[in-house]
Amino acid sequence: MEYYCITDVGLIRDKNQDSYIAVENDYGDFLVLVADGIGGGKAGEVASGEVIKYFDFTFRGSGRFSSLEDVISFMNFHINAVNKHIYDMSVKYEEYEGMGTTLTGFMITSLGMISINCGDSRVYGFKDENIVQLTRDHSLINKLLSEGKITPEEALNHPQRHYLVRAIGVGDKVRADIEEIKDMDYLLACSDGLHGYVSDEEIKKIVLDKEKSVADKTIDLKDLSLLKGGFDNVTAVLVRLKEDV
């Protein structure tokens, strides 16, 4: 396995409200998470940073998982715990009012792999020259599209296209999507600073380039996002799961 992580403030924003980890525990399990903060002032930055700090500490100290169900239970429990932590901060401190964050990523274990998602950051999988979006956006736009209330063309410039229907810390309870991931060659976790401006086809072309290293591919993803305008913070973590791809 080989991986590379990158984050960039972009060309417009004053500060980077994205945070990430790529961390291994004592038993060889590997966790990747990307968090994209929401909220005014420094609140988004605080929310995403607190979530990542929480999981960095918690996962390093996790015990040995006994089954994939155990892995899923671990993530569900701690997602709810950190959600309560962020929500309590937003209620207690006026400067943090309304803060929250997306949370997406994946865990790779000897028992199998899972994707994790709450919000509109994404996990992509790549297998046999194909790209698959492994997470579902928890956005108002995606909800309206799935209900047939707007067209894909209308979604592109919809005034509420950045509105989330699920995020960490905006309520005292939260539900994240946790799904098993089957066999993949690459996994990519990214904030919407990448997938919001770079198309799936462009992402696929970069990731499946057989001439470049994992690091160069990740840097190319970030650079293309900046070339498209750099309107948002951008974060990407790319993992190559197999040596021969």
Residue % of the chain over a pLDDT of 70? 96
* Lowest pLDDT segment from 94-103, 123-132, 139-148: 139-148
Cα(123)–Cα(69) distance, rounded to whole angstroms? Answer: 20
- d(C-alpha 5, C-alpha 211), whole Å: 19
Helix, strand, or coil here: 98? coil
% helix / strand / coil in the chain, to the nearest 5? Answer: 35, 30, 40
| Amino acid type, 43 | A
pLDDT at 149 over 80: no
* DSSP code at position 212: S
Domains, the chain, with CATH or none: 2-240 (3.60.40.10)
What confidence category does residue 243 fall into, taking pLDDT thresholds of 50, 70 and 90? Answer: confident
* Of 82 and 148, the one with more pLDDT: 82
Tokens of 196: 């919001």
Q: What is the Cα–Cα distance from 60 to 55, expressed in whole angstroms?
A: 8
What rounded mean pLDDT belongs to the chain? 94
Task: Identify the residue whose tokens are 């000897």.
Answer: 110
Residue whose pair of structure tokens reads 């903060």 in the numeric block: 37
Q: Tell me: pLDDT of 156 over 70.
A: no
* Contacting residues for 7 by C-beta, under 8 A, at least 6 apart: 16, 18, 19, 20, 233, 234, 235, 236
Element (H, E) at 49: helix 43-60
Alpha helices in 68-172 (DSSP H): 68-92, 140-146, 152-156
Count other Cβ atoms within 10 Å, centred on residue 58: 16
- The residues facing 117 across adjacent strands are 104, 177
Give 66-90 pLDDT, tens digit per residue: 999 999 999 999 999 999 999 999 9
Q: What is the pLDDT of residues 161-198, one digit of tens each?
A: 678 989 999 999 999 999 999 999 999 999 999 999 99
Joined together, the tokens standing for residue 49 give 């940073």
- Confidence check: pLDDT of 7 > 70: yes
Report the alpha-carbon distance of residue 106 to residue 188 in Å, rounded.
9
Q: Which residues contact 181 (CB under 8 A, 6 or more apart)?
A: 106, 112, 113, 114, 115, 125, 134, 187
What would the pLDDT profile of 185-239 be if each residue is shown by its tens digit? 999 999 999 999 999 999 999 999 999 999 999 999 999 999 999 999 999 999 9
Q: What is the CA radius of gyration of the chain?
A: 17
What 8-state DSSP symbol labels residue 139?
A: B
| Residue among 135, 111, 136, 138 nearest 125 (CA) | 135
pTM: 0.95
pLDDT for 210 equals: 93
